[in-house]
Amino acid sequence: MVDIVITEFMDEAAVARLAQHYDTHYDPKLVDDPAAMHGHLTSARALIVRNRTQVREALLSMGPKLRVVGRLGVGLDNIDVAACKARSIKVIPATGANDLSVAEYVITTALMLLRGAFLRSAEVAAGAWPRQSMMGRELAGKTIGLVGYGSIAREVAWRAHMMGMQIVAYDPFLAADHPGWQIARNVSLDAVLELSDVVSLHTPLTDATQHMIDARALATMKPDGVLINAARGGIVDEAALAEALRNARLGGAALDVFEVEPLTAEAGEKFMDLENLVLTPHIAGVTGESNERVSHLIAEKVLEALGNKT
């Protein structure tokens, strides 16, 4: 009888740690096989997922013995927290374990988009030598705007500060006396969009943030500004973004998250042939190091919740 079901990739050493104490079924392909998942969940007391497994009423009904849901990451938009609470199921996110990885992703893509040269290797390899058009811009002296100023955004802010950037942020939920405001100016959302050379999104996906960055918001940004979304798909109106990029109303963008994931060829067609765009498959928070941290944190918390049986 299976005690713990893991439906998406997890560090193998953390899986082995769980298996020392409980009968553990680890199969990253389960996320795409609901029928097989059903069979394993019947006896499971714990379920461990990333962002693709939809932990909602239909799935929860498959696991009548579930007591814990471990999330290998921090976003909970794929988990019906209220339904879990009604069933007395504890939901455990890996808070803080991948902050550094996401922060480095934001800084990396900001550098890529402002400098521009890193996206044009094929031209140089083909024998072109476009030095003047590849000069690009520096981060130093520019303004980065953070929409949401939680722990990940504050990691971005410290790195941007050390690189000589000015920082503005919008977060109506963060206390005005929080130490993070020592290096960031607390402004409105519109001010973040208007003032920033780089705008980075750090909010959850809610009814209030759905398409927060729409055509109007994009028009508020600087024409040579860049937008980075490593938070949640759906915060950005992708069609409006593609149109702004294609018509040179925005300098560039990086998307690590999408309205539909995995991104299909049909959904991605609007982004084709855009040279000022970086697309990655929801990996901002996933590095070798962060995968170890996230996996081991969740393994230990799940064992603690279940009682660490030997």
Catalytic positions: 232, 261, 282
Separation CA 193–CA 217 (nearest Å): 7
CB-based contacts of 88, cutoff 8 Å, min separation 6:
67
Phi, psi of 227 (to 5 degrees): -120, 135
Residue with tokens 């130490």: 179
Separation CA 285–CA 72 (nearest Å): 10
What is the C-alpha end-to-end distance of the chain, expressed in Å?
A: 16
SS3 264: coil
SS3 40: helix
Phi, psi of 171 (to 5 degrees): -160, 100
Separation CA 235–CA 207 (nearest Å): 10
